[in-house]
């Protein structure tokens, strides 16, 4: 009995010691993102955390599901982190970016110019490509990679580009593929305003927690495919616009 009480006491001591470290010496990092898939009209809460705390559990629940393979994009970060857990979220009316695609066949290659224009205040674009695609002459806003001499874009995995948006200006990428290849990209558009966005009700972290550093965090993310079947979503006409158009006719 004495041994059992001793073990329990040690357990309480260790727990108190760990918690006191978070409070006194080092805050606990955690992460939360809202990810809206524009193609499937579905949404999730996502995290990189291995162990959830009371703050993340408010959105992911106490028994979250492991993030499935479709959600585990290797985002650009210091540690190439991917989501650990996710939970279904409400689909909110957040307008995604406008994408314009121009293409032309020159010889054995097909050249693309893709312009991505935000329709909300955004901070970052992440672009991924099918690993089987061989990409040539890649440029972002007219700039090639510094020191890059080979026309073939060499990469590991799906990651192509992580771009931080300046003054909400469009991003224009250009590249070429083999003429027989199929365009197959994926775009993540992120704003760093999850806690301030009035479409959400996210409580501030307790003072013993901090946002996990070196990862895309506290973000509202829109995810969409850019491929051969892509077409710009039709504009929704408001009643006022309809009335004006009818008068013009």
pLDDT (tens digit, 9 = 90+) per residue, 155-194? Answer: 878 899 999 999 999 999 999 999 999 999 999 999 999 9
Asked whether residue 10 is assigned to any structural domain, the reply reads yes
The answer to which of 123-132, 179-188, 237-246 has the lowest mean pLDDT is 237-246
What is the separation, in whole angstroms, between the first and last Cα of the chain? 91
Q: What is the pLDDT of residues 195-223, one digit of tens each?
A: 999 999 999 999 999 999 999 999 999 99
**How many structural domains compose the chain?**
1
Average model confidence (pLDDT) across the chain: 82
Joined together, the tokens standing for residue 124 give 């970052």
Asked whether residue 120 is assigned to any structural domain, the reply reads no
To the nearest 10°, report the CA torsion of 27, 29, 30, 35. Answer: 130
Q: How confident is the model at residue 40 (pLDDT cuts 50, 70, 90)?
A: very high
The domain of 24 spans 1-28
Asked whether residue 47 is assigned to any structural domain, the reply reads no
Joined together, the tokens standing for residue 20 give 């006191």
Q: What is the pLDDT of residues 74-112, one digit of tens each?
A: 676 766 778 999 999 999 999 999 999 999 999 999 999
Q: What is the pLDDT of residues 225-240, one digit of tens each?
A: 998 876 554 343 333 3
Asked whether residue 71 is assigned to any structural domain, the reply reads no
Provide, rounded to the nearest whole percent, the portion of the chain with pLDDT above 70. Answer: 78
DSSP-H helix ranges across the chain? 2-24, 54-60, 239-248
> Distance between CA atoms of 224 and 188, rounded to whole angstroms?
7
Asked whether residue 3 is assigned to any structural domain, the reply reads yes
- 172 with 97: CB under 8 angstroms? no
- 34 with 45: CB under 8 angstroms? yes
Asked whether residue 126 is assigned to any structural domain, the reply reads no
The per-residue pLDDT for 148 is: 66
> Distance between CA atoms of 175 and 223, rounded to whole angstroms?
21
Asked whether residue 17 is assigned to any structural domain, the reply reads yes
**Can you name the residues that pair with 209 across neighbouring β-strands?**
28
Asked whether residue 18 is assigned to any structural domain, the reply reads yes
CA nearest to 200, candidates 191, 210, 209 = 191
Backbone phi, psi, residue 205, to 5°: -65, 145
CA nearest to 221, candidates 53, 33, 24 = 33
Question: Sign of the C-alpha dihedral, residues 66, 186, 195, 40?
Answer: negative
């Amino acid at each position: 009995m004495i041994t059992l009480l001793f073990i329990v006491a040690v357990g309480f001591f260790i727990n108190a010691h760990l918690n006191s470290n978070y409070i006194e010496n080092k805050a606990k990092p955690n992460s939360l993102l809202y990810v809206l898939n524009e193609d499937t009209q579905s949404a999730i809460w996502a995290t990189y955390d291995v162990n959830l705390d009371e703050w993340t559990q408010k959105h992911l629940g106490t028994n979250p599901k492991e993030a499935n393979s479709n959600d585990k994009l290797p985002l650009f970060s210091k540690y190439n982190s991917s989501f650990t857990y996710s939970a279904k979220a409400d689909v909110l009316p957040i307008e995604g970016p406008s994408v314009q695609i121009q293409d032309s066949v020159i010889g054995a290659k097909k050249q693309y110019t893709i312009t991505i224009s935000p329709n909300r205040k955004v901070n970052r674009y992440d672009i991924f490509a099918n690993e089987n695609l061989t990409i040539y002459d890649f440029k972002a806003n007219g700039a090639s990679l510094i020191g890059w001499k080979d026309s073939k874009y060499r990469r590991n995995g799906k990651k192509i580009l992580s771009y931080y948006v300046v003054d909400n200006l469009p991003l224009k990428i250009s590249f070429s593929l083999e003429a027989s290849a199929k365009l197959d990209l994926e775009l993540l558009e992120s704003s760093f305003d999850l806690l301030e966005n009035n479409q959400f009700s996210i409580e501030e972290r307790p003072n013993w927690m901090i946002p996990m550093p070196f990862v895309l965090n506290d973000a509202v993310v829109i995810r969409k495919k850019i491929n051969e079947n892509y077409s710009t979503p039709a504009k929704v006409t408001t009643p006022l616009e309809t009335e004006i158009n009818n008068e013009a006719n």
